[in-house]
Chain A
Amino acid sequence: MPPRPPRWHVADPSALLFQHWPGEDEHVVFNLRSGDLHLLNPAATAVLERLAEAPASVDDLRASLNQIDASALDAVLESLDGLGLIGPLP
């Protein structure tokens, strides 16, 4: 497994449009840069919204999103990275 990057970020937070309806678990995010639409669970949404506010390390995320357990956080970061929604800070 490659080493985890020290900090993650959203390259252009203004390009992400979030949509959520009250009473529903899942969120939809539209990436204006790629033109792709994604359906996210609450954990992925929380991580993405947090990173859209400011870059953060895994430890930062763990501290601020303590409702997500460690292994789930790794999986969420990996899938958001795979979707091109977040990336490691250079």
Chain B
Amino acid sequence: MTVGDLSDAELCGLLRAQRFTLRVGPFLVRLRSVMSEVQAALALLYRAHEIDTEADGAHFVIRLDHPGLVRRFFRAQAQLTFDLRQPFIPLPASMAAPMLEAGLNWCIGNYAHQFLVIHSATLERGGRALLMPAPPGSGKSTLCAALVTRGWRLLSDEFALVDPTTGILVPVPRPIALKEGSIDVIARWAPDAVFGPSVVNNEDETVAYMQPPARSVRDSGLTCRAGWIVVPQYVAGADATTTPMTRARALMHLADNSFNYNFHGRVGFDRLVAIADQAPSVTLRYSRLDEGVDAVDRLAQTGAP
């Protein structure tokens, strides 16, 4: 059963009864909420994700609710609780979807140590994965959103989850976070793309989430191996240019964007070396989305920078 199979009343009831357990890639996420904003976000953005109403346990148990009765009715707020901890300050209730996504990122980034976790958009074509490891503001989510509308399968716009022993990449497809001008860029690029509401976050940025392709969610059991590394750099006005990276620089870049390679010690290091060794790496400077997408497609077709 998927979220989209539920009526609004069923979704509401499961969320209130703590029987809503969402399968997000390799993770079971139990959510509890009475907030209509959370229900709306799940119904729209997690439509294709499977749920388990009878799951005994979950990897992450999250509550996303009003911080108190007053803040339910007066300038309503949302607060996220994970394991009796509240990692974020309460925010306006309209921010419920970004809080849920930030909460899941926080859980995976801090606790999913069964994986080598790299901050990277990750996509697949032809059985090989494209990693785009980059910090926020580099244009990786924009490029990722554009690529998934052009035949690439979404593994994640936020994480590469690597089995440290085997090197297998495990998909964790979720809504794609877009900010500011990227929202309109992708809306024009892919008129059929479905977005949640745009909201202004506590850094005064407009944020909206794009529904992940249903096929990517359905295929989240299909793993693959790293095939290419592209480090995107959005540079206003720049023509798209790709520049090969040395493997040493690619290794450093993977490590700089990894949450926990050092937690895995020698195994984590050896795995990053293996990825840098097997995947041709380039930096991609771009400003126009069509050129950026074409550059990635060319790289994937030739198999080498």
What are the residues of chain A within 8 A of B251 when measuring CB–CB? Answer: 19, 28, 37
Interface size range of chain A in the complex: 10 to 19
Answer yes or no: A82 CB below 8 A from chain B CBs: no
Answer yes or no: B269 CB below 8 A from chain A CBs: yes
| B13-32 near A? 1/0 per residue, CB < 8 Å | 00000000000000000000
Q: Are B262 and A39 in contact (CB under 8 A)?
A: no
Known: A28-B252, A37-B251, A37-B261. 19 other contacts (CB 8 A): A19-B251, A19-B269, A19-B273, A20-B248, A21-B246, A21-B247, A21-B248, A21-B277, A24-B246, A26-B246, A28-B248, A30-B266, A32-B265, A32-B266, A35-B262, A35-B263, A37-B252, A39-B248, A39-B252
Out of A17, A24, A35, A36, which one reaches B248, CB within 8 Å? A24
Which residues in window 1-49 of A have CB below 8 A to B?
A: 17, 19-21, 24-28, 30, 32, 35-37, 39
Answer yes or no: B12 CB below 8 A from chain A CBs: no
What are the residues of chain B within 8 A of A25 when measuring CB–CB? Answer: 246
What are the residues of chain A within 8 A of B261 when measuring CB–CB? Answer: 37
For the complex, give the distance between the alpha carbons of A39 and B245 in Å.
Answer: 14
Answer yes or no: B284 CB below 8 A from chain A CBs: no
For the complex, give the distance between the alpha carbons of A28 and B269 in Å.
Answer: 10
Residues of B in contact (CB 8 Å), total 15
Question: Can you report 30 A-B residue pairs in the complex whose CB atoms are below 8 A from each other?
Answer: A17-B269, A19-B248, A19-B269, A19-B273, A20-B248, A21-B247, A21-B248, A24-B246, A24-B247, A24-B248, A25-B246, A26-B248, A26-B249, A28-B251, A28-B252, A28-B273, A30-B266, A30-B269, A32-B265, A35-B262, A35-B263, A35-B265, A36-B262, A37-B251, A37-B255, A37-B261, A37-B269, A39-B248, A39-B249, A39-B252
| B229-255 near A? 1/0 per residue, CB < 8 Å | 000000000000000001111011001
For the complex, give the distance between the alpha carbons of A36 and B252 in Å.
Answer: 10
What are the residues of chain B within 8 A of A30 when measuring CB–CB? Answer: 266, 269
What are the residues of chain B within 8 A of A27 when measuring CB–CB? Answer: 248
Q: Are A17 and B247 in contact (CB under 8 A)?
A: no
- Nearest CB in chain B: distance from A63 CB, A: 29
Nearest chain B residue, comparing its CB with the CB of A36: B262
For the complex, give the distance between the alpha carbons of A24 and B247 in Å.
Answer: 8
For the complex, give the distance between the alpha carbons of A30 and B246 in Å.
Answer: 17
Nearest chain B residue, comparing its CB with the CB of A22: B247
For the complex, give the distance between the alpha carbons of A55 and B23 in Å.
Answer: 55
- Nearest CB in chain A: distance from B113 CB, A: 13
Which residues in window 257-288 of B have CB below 8 A to A?
A: 261-263, 265-266, 269, 273, 277
What are the residues of chain A within 8 A of B249 when measuring CB–CB? Answer: 26, 39
- Nearest CB in chain A: distance from B105 CB, A: 22
- Nearest CB in chain A: distance from B159 CB, A: 19
For the complex, give the distance between the alpha carbons of A37 and B276 in Å.
Answer: 14
**Known: A24-B246, A24-B247, A26-B246. Contact between A17 and B252, CB under 8 A?**
no
Nearest chain B residue, comparing its CB with the CB of A40: B248
Nearest chain B residue, comparing its CB with the CB of A37: B255
Which residues in window 45-64 of A have CB below 8 A to B?
A: none
- Nearest CB in chain B: distance from A42 CB, A: 11
- Nearest CB in chain B: distance from A14 CB, A: 11
- Nearest CB in chain A: distance from B282 CB, A: 15
What are the residues of chain A within 8 A of B247 when measuring CB–CB? Answer: 21, 24
- Nearest CB in chain A: distance from B250 CB, A: 10
What are the residues of chain A within 8 A of B273 when measuring CB–CB? Answer: 19, 28
For the complex, give the distance between the alpha carbons of A25 and B261 in Å.
Answer: 24
What are the residues of chain B within 8 A of A21 when measuring CB–CB? Answer: 246-248, 277
Nearest chain A residue, comparing its CB with the CB of B258: A37
